[in-house]
């Protein structure tokens, strides 16, 4: 029975002992119904775009229906080939891979400095990093793009990768995790004569698998979705990512259904990733964001 | 505090470990902030600086009629996001906290929009808001016998609808933070309230809401800071239209720098936006510090 489960309810205003009253039962049922409606609103747009991708342009512009007349995967294949999405997926994979590696290594090392090594005067650097958490990159994009052009890195993946190495949010995540590690372990390793980098590689890294996973998942989804900076750096270089292409549709007249199918292509990888790591992602989203 | 000692080899090693990342921060974040100020005071041909013009670029930007529109709109975005975007996650968090069965499904479901790339989100919603008979929302409305609406092409609706799109994307992630906060409320409080005769509605009002309040204050400021920089949503959904009804300050900055290749004016506008953001984050820092004391 549905209401049985409420007797063990551990949080919220409705307590286990309330559920005997019929009024509370109605309330609980209404809340449950509303939650289902909310989830429907959350997933419907993504479902719609997949359904609409099966329509051809005539059907899309003339028929006022949500359901397509036929489910023909050939349409997706044609769009995939016509717009060379294989190439963009490949470029995205390179951008995402490099960005994720940079996100883990660089931010991890900085957090190691802040949390464990604490060299004299580190607090100044920490304050500066925290400050940049609040002033996101978009406000300084003019100067960044100019600098990248001046040193001749336009049209290269390198600035895309390295941009993920300077992320204050990831630094905070790493730092909090490192501070929770038993300090006796690090002290013992140091007494055994391990150098600063040895401690990091032999002790910190193996213990840090959970946080590395979290940062890597965040970095993969962020790098996949990123488009403004990659657009300004990569557009016209032949290294455009899926998102850069999707952004460029804004300025190039393209039929609506092709855009829709491109949107589907851009949603699939993060959705698969989310399906696999849903628990890690929702848990760390709830815990991490408050502190950041 | 560690033992006071002079700058030793260990400190040097520590700084060496941190140096590569600090250089990246310098390149991507700190130097560009200062560089923007310098750029904004020069004239330029493409990337090449020409001569020092002091505040001429600022005057030019402020006198652009689009600036007033963008300035007003940016505040309008922020205001609407307070009305819509701020309350929805709190409501979601409370509702889902009051469920037992399917809670896992609800958590994953409301977080899903956050995983959809931002650009895909705005593309999908621009099709939803298609003003024709075949626009998705108009199809749904027609099932209830309601006439097709103009949606984004109605200048009074443009900004609220873009905020709804933003809210769809981010509310679930924020709701999870509220849920974590709500589940950490001590059950004793609710039980004591019950003994005092409080009904469920009173318990939510006097226990749940006050305890999410301090978190809400923090998230509110973060939200203002992020909505103030709204850029690509109006760019893709409306291109700033109809008739500048949805152009934002960041969008104007983007047009200066990357459409007209007038980098100094783009930098000048960036500096102005940045000053506002620094003031806002200053308020944020003060507000959160008080909480920790």
pLDDT digits (tens, 9 = 90+) for A120-176: 899 999 999 988 877 766 788 889 999 999 999 999 999 999 999 999 989 999 998
| B153 Cα to chain A: minimum distance (Å) | 17
Residue with tokens 């989310």: A274
Q: How far apart are CA B20 and CA A125, in angstroms?
A: 13
Confidence at B78, pLDDT banded by 50, 70, 90: very high
State if pTM tops 0.80.
yes
Tell me whether strands B48-52 and B42-45 are parallel, antiparallel or unpaired.
antiparallel
CA pseudo-torsion sign A145, A146, A150, A154: positive
Mutating which of A13, A41, A116 best tests the B interface, going by the most B Cβ atoms within 10 A?
A13
Element (H, E) at B65: helix B65-80
- Contact predicate B179/B96, CB 8 Å: yes
**Which residues share a beta bridge with B44?**
B49
Burial class (CB in 10 A: 0-12, 13-18, 19+), A263: buried
**pLDDT attached to residue B1:** 44
Question: Which parts of chain A register pLDDT below 70?
Answer: 1, 136-137, 287-292
Is pLDDT above 70 for B70?
yes
pLDDT per residue over A213-228, tens digit each? 999 999 999 999 999 9
A166 closest CB neighbour out of B28, B96, B117: B28
Show the tokens assigned to A131.
């400050």
∠ CA B152-B158-B164, rounded to 5°:
95
Which structural domains are found in chain B, ordered by start? 50-292 (1.10.3720.10)
A276 to chain B: nearest residue by CA?
A: B108
Q: How far apart are CA A282 and CA B212, in angstroms?
A: 19
Spatial neighbors of A208 by CB under 8 A, at least 6 apart, are A108, A174, A177, A178, A181
Confidence at B58, pLDDT banded by 50, 70, 90: very high
SS3 assignment, position A193? coil
The fraction of chain B above a pLDDT of 70, given in percent, is 96
- Contact predicate B73/B248, CB 8 Å: yes
Residue A122: its chain B contacts at CB < 8 A?
14, 18
Can you list the positions of beta strands (E) in chain B? Answer: 42-45, 48-52
**pLDDT attached to residue B94:** 92
- Contact predicate A233/A148, CB 8 Å: yes
Q: How far apart are CA B70 and CA B124, in angstroms?
A: 25
B201 to chain A: nearest residue by CA?
A: A13
Confidence at B147, pLDDT banded by 50, 70, 90: confident
A39·B253 Cβ contact <8 A: no
Dihedral of the CA atoms B6, B7, B10, B12 (nearest 10)? 180
- State the alpha helices, DSSP H only, in B129-208: 136-143, 158-183, 187-195, 200-203
Show the tokens assigned to B235.
């760019």
pLDDT per residue over B117-137, tens digit each? 999 999 999 988 988 887 888
B25·A61 Cβ contact <8 A: no
Residue A35: its chain B contacts at CB < 8 A?
95-96, 99, 102, 106
B102·A166 Cβ contact <8 A: no
**pLDDT attached to residue B6:** 56
Spatial neighbors of B13 by CB under 8 A, at least 6 apart, are A117, A119, A195, A196
A138-147 as b/e: b if 16+ CB within 10 A: bbbbbbbbbb
B110·A290 Cβ contact <8 A: no
Residue A166: its chain B contacts at CB < 8 A?
21, 24-25, 27-29
B117·A267 Cβ contact <8 A: yes
CA pseudo-torsion sign A221, A225, A227, A228: negative
**pLDDT attached to residue A78:** 87
Long-range contacts for A28-35 (Cβ within 8 Å, ≥24 apart)? Answer: A28/A3, A28/B98, A28/B99, A29/A2, A31/B95, A31/B98, A31/B99, A32/A2, A32/B99, A32/B101, A32/B102, A34/B95, A35/B95, A35/B96, A35/B99, A35/B102, A35/B106
- Contact predicate A256/A58, CB 8 Å: no
Is pLDDT above 50 for B112?
yes
- Could you please report the per-residue DSSP string of A133-171? HHS-GGGGHHHHHHHHHHTT-TT-SHHHHHHTT--HHHH
């Amino acid at each position: 029975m549905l209401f049985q489960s409420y007797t063990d309810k551990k949080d919220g205003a409705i307590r286990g002992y309330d559920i005997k009253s019929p009024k509370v039962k109605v309330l609980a049922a209404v809340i449950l119904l509303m939650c289902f409606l909310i989830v429907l609103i959350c997933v419907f747009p993504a479902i719609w775009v997949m359904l609409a991708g099966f329509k051809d342009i005539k059907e899309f512009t003339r028929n006022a229906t949500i359901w397509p007349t036929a489910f023909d995967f050939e349409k997706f294949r044609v769009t995939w080939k016509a717009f060379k999405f294989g190439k963009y997926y490949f470029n995205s994979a390179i951008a995402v891979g490099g960005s994720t590696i940079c996100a883990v290594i660089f931010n991890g090392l900085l957090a190691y400095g802040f949390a464990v090594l604490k060299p004299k005067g580190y607090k100044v650097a920490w304050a500066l990093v925290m400050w940049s958490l609040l002033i996101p990159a978009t406000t300084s994009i003019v100067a960044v793009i100019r600098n990248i052009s001046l040193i001749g890195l336009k049209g290269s993946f390198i600035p895309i990768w390295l941009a993920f190495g300077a992320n204050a949010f990831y630094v905070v995540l790493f730092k909090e995790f490192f501070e929770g590690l038993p300090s006796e372990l690090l002290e013992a390793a140091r007494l055994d004569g391990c150098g600063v980098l040895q401690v990091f590689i032999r002790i910190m890294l193996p213990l840090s698998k959970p946080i590395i996973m979290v940062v890597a998942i965040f970095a993969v989804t962020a790098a996949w979705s990123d488009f403004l900076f990659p657009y300004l750096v990569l557009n016209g270089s032949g290294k455009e990512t899926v998102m850069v292409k999707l952004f460029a549709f804004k300025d190039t007249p393209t039929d609506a259904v092709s855009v829709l199918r491109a949107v589907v292509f851009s949603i699939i990888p993060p959705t698969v990733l989310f399906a696999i790591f849903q628990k890690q992602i929702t848990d760390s989203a709830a815990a991490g964001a408050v502190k950041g | 505090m560690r033992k006071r000692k002079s700058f030793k080899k260990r400190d040097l090693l520590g700084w060496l470990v941190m140096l590569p990342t600090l250089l990246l921060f310098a390149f991507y974040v700190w130097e560009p902030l200062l560089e923007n100020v310098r750029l904004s005071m020069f004239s330029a041909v493409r990337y090449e600086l020409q001569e020092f013009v002091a505040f001429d670029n600022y005057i030019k930007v402020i006198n652009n009629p689009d600036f007033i529109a963008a300035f007003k709109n940016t505040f309008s975005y922020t205001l609407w996001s307070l009305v819509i975007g701020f309350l929805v996650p709190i409501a979601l968090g409370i509702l889902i906290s009051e469920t037992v069965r399917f809670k896992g499904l609800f958590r994953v479901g409301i977080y899903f929009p956050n995983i959809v790339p931002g650009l895909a989100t705005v593309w999908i919603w621009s099709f939803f808001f298609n003003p024709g008979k075949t626009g998705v929302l108009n199809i749904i409305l027609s099932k209830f016998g309601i006439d097709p609406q103009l949606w984004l092409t109605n200048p009074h609706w443009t900004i609220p609808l873009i905020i709804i799109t933003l809210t769809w994307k981010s509310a679930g992630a924020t709701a999870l933070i509220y849920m974590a906060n709500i589940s950490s409320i001590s059950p004793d409080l609710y039980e004591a309230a019950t003994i005092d005769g409080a009904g469920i509605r009173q318990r939510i009002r006097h226990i749940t809401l006050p305890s999410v309040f301090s978190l809400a204050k923090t998230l509110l400021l973060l939200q203002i800071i992020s909505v103030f920089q709204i850029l690509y949503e109006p760019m893709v959904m409306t291109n700033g239209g109809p008739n500048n009804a949805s152009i934002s300050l960041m969008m104007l900055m983007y047009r200066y720098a990357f459409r007209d290749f007038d980098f100094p004016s783009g930098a000048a506008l960036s500096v102005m936006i940045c000053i506002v953001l620094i003031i806002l984050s200053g308020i944020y820092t003060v507000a959160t510090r008080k909480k920790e004391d």
